[in-house]
Chains A and B, each alone.
Chain A
Amino acid sequence: MSEDVRATIRDFITGNFPDLALKDDEDIFELGFVNSLFAMQLVMFIEKTFSLRVPNQELRLDSFRTIDSMAKLVERLSSDAQISTG
């Protein structure tokens, strides 16, 4: 699942920034294109695509810094959801 999650997130980001060659451990904030609009789009994309809700307390820069950290967040929140619904 992990590689799928990474690929999905990577596709979303490069879809918005076609010229970007982005590594999974690269800090997207260092690249300077993250404005408040894109930030919200990214959060909404992740919530919708992976059917989860990121609680505000979890909305931390570090969780969204790289594709790797976003994938980790998705996996953690997905397993939380399964525990709470199961």
Chain B
Amino acid sequence: MSSAQPIQSTPATKPQQGRIKCVVWDLDNTLWDGVLLEDGRVTVRPEVVEEIRRLDSLGILHSIASRNDHEAALQKLKEENLADYFLYPQINWNPKSGSVEHIAKAINIGLDAIAFVDDQPFERAEVEHQLPAVLTVDVAHLAEALRTPEFQPKFITDESKLRREMYRSAVVRDEAEQDYAGTSEEFLATLGMEFTISEAQVEDLQRAEELTVRTNQLNSTGRTYSYEELDTLRQDPNHLLLVADLTDRYGEYGKIGLALVERGSPAWQLRMMLMSCRVMARGVGTVLLNHVMALAKAESSELRAEFVETGRNRVMYVTYAFAGFEEVERDGDRVILRSDLGRIQPPPDYLTVTVR
């Protein structure tokens, strides 16, 4: 989600591991044998369903681009207990490139993170022509294609299995937000958000590493940390590695925030802080920062934060600035920000914060 790419990027020539985040499926003679509207009865291909389930468990999402009757096709998917696997299914009579583009936007991923599977050469060619970044797959060669590195995620974490559920609850939440007549602040109050901050445990580290790789906008330094580095820092008595979770009444957002602090005197150093773009519109960026500020203040230290301007992380700069941080050093795009911790904003009313 965080790595949305420019709409028109050139097709990757080298295999990029884990590039595909969503597979978009045709239905007739791809997911099932036969043509639904002509044959009436179609038979779902068990080997295709097997692949869908396998990829789902790896955290790869699925959708549909089919020229078909919307109601009839959805009905069939429901009968087969498959409907829940597909996010934003596009079942209509429009060109499939349009459907694929719509799906990429709805999920908020780049076109180069999408694979499109269809039995018809014409449909694949149309998508390739309009959207060259999309990886197209002939269903006749499905098994081989799905075992290439593109379909092997770099990270498989506890959250991978939950990813589809998180997106599904996000769909319901987004619909509720669109239908909501009040202000965005009032909408946030309806969510019943619970924000939990805890010290990172060993089982959090894969997701923590993934967050440092995938998060661009709400990331104070853009630096990535490996699992091993994070594990060392976690156990170092001078460092504090914090993870943040968010849930609301629609479901879990998962682990969405990370902060790395080095204790010291007279100043604590906030080496890195990031928030997943999943929670960008939830106004929680300040909450983790304020927690770290309160910890430093309790030990009568001031707090300095490292910041690297990456061109994409201005939201994070604003988060620091509006929490009262000011620049004390600058070397090109590398900045040290400082807060005297004079004022620490309490968490907003629409949120419950738990510290474990």
Could you mark each residue 17-58 of chain A with 1 if its beta carbon is under 8 Å from any beta carbon of chain B, else 0?
110000000000100111111111001000000000000110
- Please measure, in the bound complex, the distance between the C-alpha atom of A60 and the C-alpha atom of B321, giving whole angstroms: 5
Point out the residues of chain A lying under 8 angstroms from B183, CB to CB: 16-18
Point out the residues of chain B lying under 8 angstroms from A60, CB to CB: 321, 326
Point out the residues of chain A lying under 8 angstroms from B156, CB to CB: none
- Neighbour of B286 across the interface among A35, A43, A56, A61, CB < 8 A: A35
- Please measure, in the bound complex, the distance between the C-alpha atom of A18 and the C-alpha atom of B284, giving whole angstroms: 22
The answer to whether B327 touches A57, judged by C-beta atoms less than 8 angstroms apart, is yes
A57's closest neighbor in chain B, by CB? Answer: B327
152-195 of chain B: CB within 8 A of chain A: 183-185
B327's closest neighbor in chain A, by CB? Answer: A57
Point out the residues of chain B lying under 8 angstroms from A61, CB to CB: 321-324, 326
The answer to whether B348 touches A35, judged by C-beta atoms less than 8 angstroms apart, is yes
Could you mark each residue 259-293 of chain B with 1 if its beta carbon is under 8 Å from any beta carbon of chain A, else 0?
00000000000000000000011111110000000
Q: Which of B286, B315, B322 has the most CB of A within 10 A?
A: B322
Number of A-B pairs, beta carbon distance below 8 Å: 67
B224: CB under 8 A from chain A? Answer: no
B247: CB under 8 A from chain A? Answer: no
A81: CB under 8 A from chain B? Answer: no
- Label chain A's interface by main secondary structure: helix
- Neighbour of A37 across the interface among B282, B314, B343, CB < 8 A: B282
Point out the residues of chain B lying under 8 angstroms from A33, CB to CB: 185, 348
Could you mark each residue 311-355 of chain B with 1 if its beta carbon is under 8 Å from any beta carbon of chain A, else 0?
000110111011110110010000100000001011011000000
- Please measure, in the bound complex, the distance between the C-alpha atom of A63 and the C-alpha atom of B319, giving whole angstroms: 14
The answer to whether A34 touches B322, judged by C-beta atoms less than 8 angstroms apart, is yes
Point out the residues of chain A lying under 8 angstroms from B323, CB to CB: 61
The answer to whether B280 touches A37, judged by C-beta atoms less than 8 angstroms apart, is yes
B309: CB under 8 A from chain A? Answer: yes
A59's closest neighbor in chain B, by CB? Answer: B321
Q: How far is the CB of B254 from chain A (nearest CB, A)?
A: 19
B288's closest neighbor in chain A, by CB? Answer: A36
The answer to whether A64 touches B348, judged by C-beta atoms less than 8 angstroms apart, is no
Known contacts A16-B183, A56-B317; A35/B330 CB under 8 A: no
Point out the residues of chain A lying under 8 angstroms from B284, CB to CB: 35-36
The answer to whether B318 touches A40, judged by C-beta atoms less than 8 angstroms apart, is yes
The answer to whether A39 touches B322, judged by C-beta atoms less than 8 angstroms apart, is yes
The answer to whether B346 touches A64, judged by C-beta atoms less than 8 angstroms apart, is no
Known contacts A17-B183, A29-B343; A36/B314 CB under 8 A: no
Point out the residues of chain A lying under 8 angstroms from B318, CB to CB: 36, 39-40, 43, 59
Point out the residues of chain B lying under 8 angstroms from A57, CB to CB: 327, 330
B183's closest neighbor in chain A, by CB? Answer: A16
Instruction: Give me the interface of B with A, judged by CB distance under 8 Å.
Output: 183-185, 280-286, 309, 314-315, 317-319, 321-324, 326-327, 330, 335, 343, 345-346, 348-349
28 A–B pairs (Cβ distance < 8 Å), ordered by A: A16-B184, A17-B185, A29-B322, A29-B343, A32-B349, A33-B185, A33-B348, A34-B322, A35-B285, A35-B286, A36-B319, A37-B280, A37-B282, A37-B283, A40-B314, A40-B318, A43-B318, A56-B309, A56-B317, A56-B321, A56-B327, A57-B327, A59-B318, A60-B321, A60-B326, A61-B321, A61-B323, A64-B322
Instruction: Give me the interface of A with B, judged by CB distance under 8 Å.
Output: 16-18, 29, 32-40, 43, 56-57, 59-61, 64
Q: List 8 extra interface pairs beyond A38-B185, A38-B283, A56-B327, CB under 8 A.
A: A16-B183, A37-B281, A39-B286, A40-B318, A40-B319, A56-B314, A61-B321, A61-B326
